[in-house]
Chains A and B, each alone.
Chain A
Amino acid sequence: MYPSRFNYESPKTIEEAIALLTKGNGEAKILAGGMSLIPMMKLRFASPEMLVDINNIPNLNYHRVDADGTFHIGALCRHSDLEKSSILAQHQPTLAATAPLVADPIVRNRGTFVGSVCHADPQGDWASAMIALDGMIVAQGPKGRRTIAVRDFVTGPFQNVLASNEIAIEAIIPATTGTRFGGYLKLERRIGDFATAGVAVALELSGSSVIRAGIGLTGVGSSTVNATDAAQSLVGSPLTSEAIERAADLAAQAAQPRSDHRGSAAYKKQVVRTFVARILTEINSTKTKAA
C-alpha cells in the first residue's frame, strides 16, 4: 500500500495525544485499530498529515462492569477481547451476540470497539447495539471530559460530534433495573462482509413485562437507524406474538435502505422485519425456559 506522505506520532499519555491533535489542527487523525483508517489511506480517500497512534497509551485496554451494573469499554479494547469475554457474555447479551459477527477474526484482533463507534459507518455493527442499549461515549479534550449519548454522538455517515482534538476514552452502557435480554442478527454475504442488514435488540424485562426496549438497525440508512417506534411499541406489555409482529413491522418501516449490490431496498426491509421477529421470538422462548 502506498498512502500519501504523513507524520507518525506515538504519544504515551492522553494529554500528549490531545496536544498533538491540537497541533495537527484538523489535519491529524487518531489511529486505533487502523482497520478502517488504514484501508482509507491505502485508497488515498484519507490523507491525514499526521497519525496519532494511541496504541501505546497505557490503561485503555479494558472492559469491566461496575458494582452498580454500569459497563465500561476502554478505547483500546479490541473486538476479539469482547468476543472472548465471559463478563460480556454474562452481563451484555446484545453485545455478546454482536461480537462474533463484526468483520472477520483477523480484523477483530486489531479493530477496537470505540474506534468502530467513532468511525460512524452506517454499516458498523457495534453502533446499532449501542443505540439499542442507550450507550454513551466519554470524550476527553483540552477542556476536560464530557459524556455523549451514542444517539447524539453520530451526526451522519462517517461523522461524529468530536472536536478534532478530542479523544473518545471509553464507551459506557448504563445499568439496568430489570433483567437484560437481547440479540443481534446480521445478514452478510460472507464472513467479514458488512451487513446487508443487521438488527440489534436490547430489552429489559420485569417479570414477563418489557420495561425498556431499544432497537438499532445496521446498514439500512445513511447512519445507524434508531427504531424508536418499534422499541417503544414493546414497552409495557409481554412479548406476545402480536407484539412481536407489530414491532417487526414498525422496525421495517423505520429502515431507510438503498438498493445496491447487497440487495434491493424492499428486500432489506424484509430482512429487518424477519430478524426483529426472530430475535424477539428467541428471547421469548429463552425467557419462558428460564422461568
Chain B
Amino acid sequence: MSLDEIKIGGMGASRRRVEDNRFIRGKGNYVDDVVLPGMLHMEILRSPLAHARIKSIDVSAAWAIPGVRLVLTGEMMAARNLAWMPTLSYDTQAVLATDKVRFQGQEVACVIADDPYIAKDGCEAIVVEYEPLKPIVNPMQALAPGAPLIRDDKENQKDNVVFDWQVGDKAATDKAFASADKVSKLELHYPRSHPSPIETCGSIADFDRSTSKLTVYMTTQAPHIIRAAVALVAELPEHMIRIISPDLGGGFGNKVPVYPGYVMSILASILLEKPVKWIEDKTGNLISTGFGRDVYLKGELALRKDGKILAVRMHTDSDHGAFFSDAQPSKFKIGLMHSAFACYDIPAAHLTARGVYTNKAPGGVAYRCSFRVTEAMFFQERMVQAAADDLGIDQAEFRRVNLVHDDDFPHRTAFGFLTDSGQYAKCLDIGLEAIGYKDFLKQKEEAKKRGRLLGIGISTMTEPLGAGNSREYDILGIKMFDSAELRVHMTGKAILRTGAKSQGQGHETTWAQIVAHELGIPADDIVVEEGDTDTAPFGMGTYASRSTPVAGAAVAMVSRKIRAKARKIAAHLLEVSEEDVEWELGRFYVRSAPTRGVTIQDCAFAAYTNMPDGLEPGLENVSYYDPPNLTWPFACYIATVEVDPQTGVWDVLKVVAVDDCGVRINPMIVEGQIMGGLTEAYAMASMQFITFDSEGNCVGSNYMDYLLPTAWETPGFELHEVVTPCPHHPIGAKGIGECATVGGPAAFVNAVMDAVKDTGVRNIDMPLLPDRVYEALTTKKDISGFPPVKTDA
C-alpha cells in the first residue's frame, strides 16, 4: 500500500512551519544575534540635507573619543578606489559622499568603535560643513528646463534622465486609437513606499588575515549575487569570500541591493583585522535603503462602444532617487511594467518609460513585487475601472468582455509576453458570487437614498512571476536560473540546500514537502538549509516570487535525479532489471509481484552499504533549473467599502480573494501569503507611503509617521481558490508570494472611487487618507499626480 502523502507532509499538506519553532521561541539567529570575539561596532553619519556640496569634514573630535577605532570618510574611501560602487542596474552609487550629498540620509562618514554607543557619540562629534543646493523632489522638477544636475559625477550625464525606454508597437497603437469610439484617460501616481522589513539591514564583516578569508554575515535575499559583487568591488578572490545570510526578519525586496554599510563594514574589517558589526537603525533603514514604487502614469485606453479594449498607451515617469540601484532584469529598464494588461485580450499596446534622478534615496526596488508589476497591475486595474465608468458599462461585465478566454492559451500579449494557462472568467464568477455582487449593487442604491456612500471595487490580473528564463532575464549579465542540492543520508534522512533564501516564505517547510512528494521521504526527515555561499549551490536568491517557480522546480528535479539512481539500486536489491521496477510514493516494487518491494530508505541504506557493481556510491545530486517561461498566476480581488461623507473616512465592509496559483504545495502557507499581501495592499491603499517635503526631508522616517497597519485596522479576508496547474513547472506550481500585494490595492481604491463616483471624481491617488477623500468629495475634483503632503508655507 502506498504512503498517505498528506501524512508524510507532502504536497497539499498544511504542514506547520518548521522554522516557526525557533522564531516564536525567540531562538532565531539573525545577523544581530551573531557575536564574534573582538567584534567592533560601526555607526553611520548621514546627511541632514537632500542636496548639498560638502565643503569640509572635520573628524578630529571623533578620533579623540576613547574607544573610537576608525573613522572613515569619502576621501579615505576614494584613496582606496571605494568611494563609488557599481549598482545592480549598471549605475554607480556613492559608498561615502565625496563631492556632494544627493539625498537626505546619504552616508557621509562612519565610525567604528568598541560599542555602538561610542560609535554613535563619534558620529555626533563629526563636523560637516555643507553648502546647500536646490533639492529636486519629483520628476516634474527633475525634468524642468534649467534643473540642477544631480549626477554631475557622471561624465556623459547632461540632464536628470536615467533612461528613456519603450516597448510595444507604436504604429499599431496609434492606428487603433485613431479608430476608437472613445478614449479613456487617467493620470495616476503610485506613491513611494518602503518595504520596511521588521529587521533592518546589517552586516558583520570578519576578515581573517592569516587565511585571507572574508566571512560576511549579511541581511541579504541574494547571497550569491552579493558574493559576486564583493569579488568585483573589493577585488577579492571569490573563493575567499563567504557570505552567510542567516535568519532574515523579512526582506520584501529591501534586502536585494548592495548597501554602502555592507561595503564599509568590509573595508573596516580588512583595515582593522577585526570583525565589524553594522546594524542599521530603523530610521536609517526607512530613509536610506531601497524604496519601492514612486511612478507617475499617463494612461489611455482606446475603446469600442461595446466595451472592447482596442489598444493601450502608457507613459511612466519613475523617480529613482539619486542612484539607479534597484535590481532590474537588464533588458527591461522599468522592470516588467509592460506586463500590464496581460490578462486582457488587447490587439495593440505601447509603453514609453522615463526614469529620472531626484534628491531622494535610491528607489524602485521590487517591494514584494516582480519588478514593477505592482505598479503595472495597479495602473491597469484603475484604468480598466475608469474605462468601464466612462463607457457606462458595469465594471464586472467590462472585464468579462476583455479577459483572455480559457481556450486562447497560450496567449501572446500585446507587449509580447506569453501567458500559458488560467481560468480567468471562472475566478471572476467565484469572486462576484462570494461578494454577493448583485445584492450589493441594490444595497448601494438603497443606501444612496439615505445619504450613505457604498462602493465596490474589483481587481483582476495575471502577473509574471518567477524570473527567468535565462534567455530574457539576467541581472548584471548573470542568468536568472536557480538550484537545489539534495543529499540523502544512509538512514534515509536528507539535507536539501537551494540557491534561494527564505525571509519568511517558509522554505524550510515547503521545500521538504516537494522532496516528500517526489521521493516519499517524510518531510520531517528533511532539513533545509539556505543562505551560506560556501555550502549552498549558486542561485539568484529570493524575490520576485521566484523561489517556487525556479528553486522549487530545481528541488523537484534534483529529487527526480535521486529517484532515478534509487531505482537502479532498487533493481539491484530486488534482483530484477530496472525496467521491471515500478514506483509508488516512497517505494519501488516488482511490477509482476507488487508485494515485493523496497522503500526509498532501503535504497538509501544500500547506496552506502550495498551498491550494485559499476554504480557510484552515495545518494546525492544537484540540479540547476532554467524555467522555460515565467509562471502566470491569476487573481480576482473584490472589496466593498462605506465612505463617511462628513470626514472622508472609509471602512472596508468585505474583501474576497480568489487566487489561482496552480498547485498549492502547502495551502496554509499560501493562504498566509495571500493574507499578508492583502494586508499590504490595504496599507498601500489607505495609509502607507513615504513622502518628502519641498526641501527633500523624508516625512516618514519612523513608525509613527510611516504607517504600517496593525491587526486592529486590517480587515478580514475571505479566501477562495481555483487551481490551474502551470503547464511547464515540474509540479504545476506558480508564484504566489506577491499576488495580493500586486493586485490588491486597486480593489480597495476602485471601491472607494465607486462610492464617490456620483461626484464626477475619477481618481484619488493613494494613499486614500480621509482628508484626500473628503477634499475630492467636496471639491468634486480629482486628487491626482502630486505628492500627498500639504504644508503651511
Q: Do A and B bind each other?
A: yes
Q: Are B647 and A187 within 8 A (Cβ)?
A: yes
B775 touches A264 (CB 8 A): yes
Q: Interface with B: A16-24, A66-74, A253-261, which one? A: A253-261
B788–chain A nearest beta-carbon distance, Å? 8
B770 contacts A265, C-beta separation under 8 Å: no
How long is the Cα–Cα vector from A265 to B771 in the complex, in angstroms?
10
Chain B residues within an 8 Å CB radius of A208: none
Q: How distant is B169 from chain A, measured CB to nearest CB, in Å?
A: 42
Contacts of B647 in A (CB 8 A): 187, 270-271, 274
| CB closest chain-A residue, reference B708 | A190
Q: Could you say which residues of chain A place their CB within 8 Å of the CB of B649?
A: 187
Complex interface: chain B residues within 8 A of A264 (CB): 771, 775, 790
Are A190 and B771 CB-contacts (below 8 A) given A258-B792, A261-B691, A263-B790? no
| Inter-chain contact B771/A263, CB cutoff 8 Å | yes
**CA–CA, A140 and B374, complex, Å:** 58
Contact A261 B775 (CB under 8 A): no
The interface on chain A, measured as residues whose beta carbon lies within 8 A of the other chain's beta carbons, has a size of 27
Identify A104's interface contact among B116, B124, B710, B771, CB under 8 A: B710
Instruction: Render B278-312 as a binary contact track against A, CB cut-off 8 A, 1 for contact.
Output: 00010100000000000000000000000000000
- The docked-state distance in angstroms from the alpha carbon of A193 to that of B687 is 11
Distance of B266 from chain A, by nearest CB (Å): 22
Please, what's the 1-or-0 string for A248-281, where 1 marks a CB less than 8 Å from any CB in chain B?
0000000000111111110100110010000000
Tally of B interface residues using CB under 8 Å: 35
> CB of A143 within 8 A of chain B?
no
Which residues of the other chain, B, contact A267 by a CB distance below 8 angstroms? Answer: 648, 770-771, 774-775
Which among B43, B704, B788 has the greatest number of chain A C-beta atoms within 10 A? B704
CB distance from A117 to the nearest CB of B (A): 20
Can you list 10 A-B contacts with CB-CB less than 8 angstroms, sorted by A residue number?
A4-B121, A192-B710, A194-B704, A196-B771, A259-B791, A261-B691, A261-B699, A262-B771, A264-B790, A267-B770
A-facing residues in B603-656 (Cβ within 8 Å): 646-649
Contact A2 B124 (CB under 8 A): no
- Contact partner, A2, options B116, B687, B710, Cβ 8 Å: B116
A5 at the interface (CB under 8 A from B): yes
Contact with B along A178-192 (1 / 0, CB 8 A): 000000000101111
A190 proximity list for chain B (CB < 8 A): 687, 707-710, 712-713
Task: Please indicate which of the listed interface residues B119, B691, B792 has the most CB atoms of chain A within 10 Å of its own CB.
Answer: B792
Q: Which of B116, B120, B712 contacts A191 (CB 8 A)?
A: B712
Cβ-defined contact, A263 with B770, below 8 A: yes
Contact A189 B687 (CB under 8 A): yes
Determine chain B's interface SS by DSSP, over half rule. loop
**B698-737 Cβ-contact flags toward A at 8 Å (1 or 0):** 0110001101111011000000000000000000000000
Determine whether B769 belongs to the interface, using a CB cutoff of 8 Å to chain A. yes
For A260, list chain B residues within 8 Å (CB). 789-792
Q: Which residues of A contact B648 (CB under 8 A)?
A: 267
Q: Say whether A287 faces chain B, with CB atoms less than 8 Å apart.
A: no
Is A44 interfacial (CB 8 A cutoff)?
A: yes
Q: Is B117 close to A, CB under 8 A?
A: yes
Q: Which of B121, B769, B775, B792 contacts A265 (CB 8 A)?
A: B792
For residue B788, which residues in chain A have a CB less than 8 angstroms away from its CB?
261
| Nearest CB on A from B192, distance (A) | 13
Contact with B along A225-266 (1 / 0, CB 8 A): 000000000000000000000000000000000111111110
B769, closest chain A residue (CB): A189
**A188 CB, nearest partner CB in chain B, Å:** 9
Report the minimum CB–CB distance from A25 to chain B (whole Å): 23
Q: How far is the CA of A44 from the CA of B123 in the complex (A)?
A: 12
8 shortest interchain CB distances as A-B pairs: A263-B771, A191-B712, A259-B790, A267-B771, A2-B120, A274-B646, A190-B707, A264-B790
Cβ distance B498 to chain A, nearest Cβ, rounded Å: 36
Q: In the bound complex, how far is the Cα of B710 from the Cα of A18, in angstroms?
A: 40
Chain B 240-296 residues near chain A, CB threshold 8 A = 281, 283
- Quick one: closest A residue to B793, CB to CB? A259
Name the residue on A nearest B683 (C-beta): A190
Query: Which residue of chain B has its CB nearest to the CB of A185?
Result: B647
Residues A150-205 near B (CB distance < 8 A) = 187, 189-194, 196
B window 762-793: CB within 8 A of A: 769-771, 774-775, 788-792
Q: A276: shortest Cβ distance to chain B, in Å?
A: 12
B700 partner residues in chain A, CB cutoff 8 A: 261
Complex: how many Å from CA A196 to CA B771? Answer: 10
Partner of B770, one of A2, A187, A194: A187
Q: Which of A4, A196, A259 contacts B792 (CB 8 A)?
A: A259
A43, B287: Cα distance in complex, Å? 14
Chain B nearest CB, measured from A290 CB (Å): 26
Once the chains are docked, how many angstroms separate the CA of A4 from the CA of B117? 7
List the B residue with the shortest CB-CB distance to A1.
B281
1/0 per residue, CB under 8 A from B, across A1-38: the answer is: 11011000000000000000000000000000000000
Residues of B within 8 A of A263 (CB): 769-771, 790
CA distance A270 to B774 in the complex (A): 10
> Which residues on B sit within 8 Å (CB–CB) of A261?
691, 699-700, 705, 788-790
A264, closest chain B residue (CB) = B790
Proximity bits, B399-422, A CB within 8 Å = 1, else 0: 000000000000000000000000
CA distance A193 to B702 in the complex (A): 12
* 17 more CB-based (< 8 A) A-B contacts, given A2-B281, A191-B712: A104-B712, A187-B647, A189-B769, A189-B770, A190-B707, A190-B712, A192-B704, A193-B704, A260-B790, A260-B791, A261-B699, A261-B705, A262-B769, A263-B770, A271-B647, A274-B646, A274-B647
Residue in A closest to B689 when the chains form the complex, CB atoms: A261
How far, in Å, is A67 (CB) from chain B's closest CB? Answer: 39
Chain A residue numbers with a CB within 8 Å of B713 are: 190-191
Q: Is the CB of B707 within 8 A of A44?
A: no
CA–CA, A260 and B697, complex, Å = 13
Residues of A within 8 A of B281 (CB): 1-2
Q: In the assembled complex, which residues on chain A have CB atoms less than 8 Å from the CB atom of B646?
A: 270, 274
Pick the contact of A44: B124, B705, B769, B774 (CB < 8 A). Answer: B124
A5 to B67, CA, bound (A): 14
**Binary A-proximity of B118-143 (CB < 8 A = 1, otherwise 0):** 01110010000000000000000000
With the chains together, A12 CA to B611 CA distance in Å?
A: 77
How far apart are the CA atoms of A189 and B43 in the complex, in Å?
A: 33
Docked CA distance A196–B687 (Å) = 13
Most buried by A among B283, B646, B691: B646
User: Which residues of A lie under 8 Å from residue B124 when comparing CB positions?
Assistant: 44
The digit string for B48-87, where 1 denotes a CB below 8 A from any CB of A, is 0000000000000000000000000000000000000000
CA distance A252 to B120 in the complex (A): 45
Query: Given A5, A189, A191, A270, which contacts B117 in the complex, CB threshold below 8 Å?
Result: A5
Instruction: Look across to chain A and name the residue whose beta carbon is closest to the beta carbon of B118.
Output: A2
> Can you name the residue of chain B whose Cβ is closest to the Cβ of A2?
B120
The residue in A2, A187, A258 that gathers the most chain B C-beta atoms within 10 A of its C-beta is A2
CA distance A44 to B704 in the complex (A): 17
Cα–Cα distance between A258 and B771 once the two chains are bound (Å): 13
CA distance A189 to B713 in the complex (A): 10
